[in-house]
Amino acid sequence: MKVLILGSNGRLGSALVRRWKALPDIEVVALTRADVDLADPEKAEAGLAAHEFGEGEVVVNCAAATDVDGCEKDREGAARINAESPGRIARLCAARGARLIHIGTDYVFDGSLDRPYTEEDEPKPLSHYGLTKLEGDREVLAASPAHCVVRVSWVFGPDKPSFVDAIVKRALTSPEAAAVHDKTSAPSYTEDMALWLAELLNPKVPGGIYHLCNSGTCSWRDYGEYALECAKKYGVPVLATSVAPLKLSDMKAFIAVRPPHTSLDTSKFTRITGLTPRPWQEAVDEYFTTWKQQ
């Protein structure tokens, strides 16, 4: 089976390419912006159409305009990359009988619920990033009932630095660390995502929306503090061990409005696949067993 991965230089895309190349019976085709530039929807469709794939095969779209504040500044560009191009790609996949697995985000929600969001909860994006990603989700789902939209949160992993790497890197030279305490969600470890998403390569798994992340809920501050604890445990010479609390409303450099509480309920994925995501703490701990400064 051929699996084409868009955004293969990104945090999640790189992990999928690396892990899935080792799977039997799968030919991984890693595609980058140079092959399929989502900023030009017509060319993006033609770029993907130039590759041979068809019935029963899979395209995974990990590419997106992920700079949340950047999407506020270039709204048209964000709409092309996050919504229009995914729509075209979804229709091309449907026409060829292939499944599209499209990666979505918790930022489609407004973060006002006091429980984890299910796939049935109504999205109400607060930012242009969230809005364009939601439009992308809808375009993908409208193109074929076999397509999947997988909403994830706080992606981290060894292929590209993220929040955990930034906080540990800073703690290598400073005894002080601080992070927002009144914004909660859950980290999604790319090594785990590679295992979970492989389940969706099976055509018997129904299409639709899936929420997927490590289990549990934490604030950026909890996440950062635990990352420092793990880093120290595995010999990374961090100078800071605690993280001071900041308020989301004090983050004056943020342009886009961030949703405060966006934990995702992953029970649909567990019900369908039998896999239960492990707690985020286990994933972060494992990450620091082999951590290298990126």
Ligand X SMILES: NC(=O)c1ccc[n+]([C@@H]2O[C@H](COP(=O)([O-])OP(=O)(O)OC[C@H]3O[C@@H](n4cnc5c(N)ncnc54)[C@H](OP(=O)(O)O)[C@@H]3O)[C@@H](O)[C@H]2O)c1
Q: Which stretch binds ligand X (CB under 6 A): 111-119, 151-159, 226-234, 271-279?
A: 151-159
Of 66 and 263, which has the nearer Cβ to ligand X? 66
8 A C-beta contact, residue 20 and residue 3: yes
Q: Which of 111, 105, 107, 116 is nearest to 261 (CA)?
A: 111
Q: Which stretch binds ligand X (CB under 6 A): 37-45, 241-249, 268-276, 280-288?
A: 37-45
Residues found in the chain: 294
Does 13 interact with ligand X (rule: CB under 6 A)? yes
Does 64 interact with ligand X (rule: CB under 6 A)? yes
Non-local CB neighbours of 293 within 8 Å, separated by 6+ positions: 165, 169, 172
Does 227 interact with ligand X (rule: CB under 6 A)? no
How do beta strands 218-219 and 184-185 pair? antiparallel
Of 241 and 251, which has the nearer Cβ to ligand X? 251
Q: Return phi, psi of residue 123, to 5°.
A: -70, 145
Shortest distance, position 199 Cβ to ligand X, whole Å: 17
Shortest distance, position 202 Cβ to ligand X, whole Å: 21
Residues 1, 19, 23, 37: which binds ligand X (CB under 6 A)? 37
Does 7 interact with ligand X (rule: CB under 6 A)? yes
DSSP 120: T
Residues 3, 65, 171, 186: which binds ligand X (CB under 6 A)? 65
SS3 assignment, position 253: coil
Binding pattern for the stretch 72-111 against ligand X, x by CB under 6 A and - elsewhere: ---------x---------------------x-xx-----
Instruction: Provide the H-helix boundaries in 28-181.
Output: 41-49, 68-73, 75-79, 85-96, 128-143, 163-171
Does 12 interact with ligand X (rule: CB under 6 A)? yes
* Residue 77 token pair: 């560009």
Does 38 interact with ligand X (rule: CB under 6 A)? yes
Non-local CB neighbours of 294 within 8 Å, separated by 6+ positions: 158, 160, 161, 165
8 A C-beta contact, residue 101 and residue 60: yes
Active site residues: 129
Determine the residue with CB nearest ligand X: 10
Shortest distance, position 162 Cβ to ligand X, whole Å: 6
Q: Which of residues 168-207 bind ligand X (CB under 6 A)?
A: none
SS3 assignment, position 270: helix
8 A C-beta contact, residue 130 and residue 107: yes
Does 127 interact with ligand X (rule: CB under 6 A)? no
Shortest distance, position 237 Cβ to ligand X, whole Å: 27
Of 8 and 281, which has the nearer Cβ to ligand X? 8
Distances (CA, A) of 103 to 11, 65, 81, 229: 12, 12, 13, 30
Three-state SS across 60-72?
EECCCCCCHHHHH
Of 185 and 241, which has the nearer Cβ to ligand X? 185
Shortest distance, position 71 Cβ to ligand X, whole Å: 10
Q: Which of 65, 140, 67 is nearest to 101 (CA)?
A: 140
Number of amino acids touching ligand X (CB under 6 A)? 27
Positions touching ligand X (CB under 6 A) are 7, 9-13, 32-33, 36-39, 62-66, 81, 103, 105-106, 133, 152-155, 160
